[in-house]
């Protein structure tokens, strides 16, 4: 795996961990404000914090390892092409997701209906997260998940 | 639609040049090992400057390392020799 591929894989894993953490944390917050409370709240949050920051530290260590030789390059024309294509896919995804979400909203509330103002920033935030996911997946798919390495 | 393909002799040439590893060739051509793997397996067609760099690494003309093949040229060659 080269640096671009590793970077995409690590950000994808970190992103998925953050999503699971967010889902978990909403549950913890709900429990904290419930009459029974949540005695394990601190433990749960600390576990996730260590997991996420630990993985981030491991990613940084693996990404910025010392080169095997001084002539070894970190990225080349193929990596640039893969990144360029991934950005193009992201651009298409942004338009697709925005138009789809607006069409769904229009379908739900109708032509003369109204939506709360907070929905729009939430849509943009959702699209932003989706685009990060799409970018990393697009990069990994183009590299063939790194399983097609030949013999050395 | 005609199928275009760039074939190459990199694998054979690496072994003929003192069993050069993919990493050594990548370092000489200024690319990553993954790119050499992709070129060797025919999954990636290199740019012209990169093709020249690889050919120069082996000290050979570019057409001895890379060959362009498409269905049209193959069928015309077949009809010529028929």
Q: Which residues of A touch B31 (CB under 8 A)?
A: 73, 76-78
Range with the largest mean pLDDT of A48-57, A91-100, B23-32, B63-72: A91-100
Q: Is the pTM of this model over 0.90?
A: no
Any chain B CB within 8 A of the CB of A69?
yes
Among B23, B38, B40, the residue with its CB nearest the CB of A78 is B38
Are A75 and B32 in contact, with CB atoms under 8 Å apart? yes
For residue A84, give both structure tokens: 């360029």
Higher-scoring residue by pLDDT: A145, B55: B55
> Which value does ipTM take for this structure?
0.76
Q: Which residues of B touch A76 (CB under 8 A)?
A: 30-32, 35, 50
Any chain B CB within 8 A of the CB of A1?
yes
- CB proximity list for A126: less than 8 A, separation 6 or greater: A97, A101
* CA distance to A147, B45, B51, B76, per residue, from B48 (Å): 27, 9, 5, 26
* Helical packing angle, A3-32 and A77-109, nearest 10°: 30
Average of pLDDT values for B33-57? 91
Which chain A residue shows the shortest CA-CA distance from B47? A77
Partner-chain contact B30 A150, CB within 8 Å: no
Say which residue the tokens 């074939």 belong to.
Answer: B7
- CB proximity list for A52: less than 8 A, separation 6 or greater: A14, A17, A18, A21
SS3 state at B25: helix
pLDDT of residue B1: 47
SS3 state at B52: helix
Q: Which residues of B touch A72 (CB under 8 A)?
A: 23, 26-27, 32
Please state, in angstroms and rounded to a whole number, the distance separating the CA atoms of residues A34 and B72.
Answer: 74
pLDDT of residue A148: 47
Any chain B CB within 8 A of the CB of A147?
no
- CB proximity list for B41: less than 8 A, separation 6 or greater: A148, A150
In this structure, the number of other CB atoms found within 10 A of the CB of residue B64 comes to 13
What is the mean pLDDT, run by run of 10 residues, along chain A of 152 residues?
Answer: 82 85 78 72 79 81 70 83 94 95 91 86 90 92 63 38
Kindly list the structural domains of chain B, giving each domain's residue range(s) and its CATH number in brackets, ordered by start. 4-81 (1.10.260.40)
């Amino acid at each position: 795996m080269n640096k671009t591929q590793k970077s995409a894989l690590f950000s994808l894993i970190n992103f998925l961990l953050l999503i699971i953490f967010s889902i978990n944390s909403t549950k913890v917050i709900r429990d904290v404000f419930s009459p029974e409370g949540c005695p394990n709240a601190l433990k749960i949050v600390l576990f996730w914090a260590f997991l996420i920051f630990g993985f981030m530290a491991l990613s940084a260590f693996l990404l910025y390892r010392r080169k095997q030789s001084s002539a070894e390059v970190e990225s080349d024309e193929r990596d640039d092409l893969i990144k360029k294509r991934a950005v193009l896919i992201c651009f298409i995804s942004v338009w697709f997701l925005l138009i789809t979400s607006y069409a769904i909203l229009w379908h739900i509330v109708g032509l003369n209906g109204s939506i709360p103002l907070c929905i729009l920033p939430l849509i943009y935030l959702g699209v932003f997260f989706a685009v990060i996911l799409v970018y990393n997946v697009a990069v990994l798919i183009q590299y063939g998940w790194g399983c097609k390495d030949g013999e050395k | 639609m005609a199928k275009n393909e760039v074939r190459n002799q990199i694998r054979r040439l690496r072994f003929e040049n003192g069993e050069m590893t993919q990493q050594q060739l990548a370092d000489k051509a200024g690319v990553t090992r993954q790119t050499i793997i992709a070129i060797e397996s025919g999954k990636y067609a290199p740019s012209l400057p990169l093709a020249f760099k690889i050919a120069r690494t082996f000290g050979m003309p570019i057409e001895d390392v890379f060959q362009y093949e498409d269905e049209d040229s193959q069928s015309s060659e077949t009809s010529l020799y028929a």
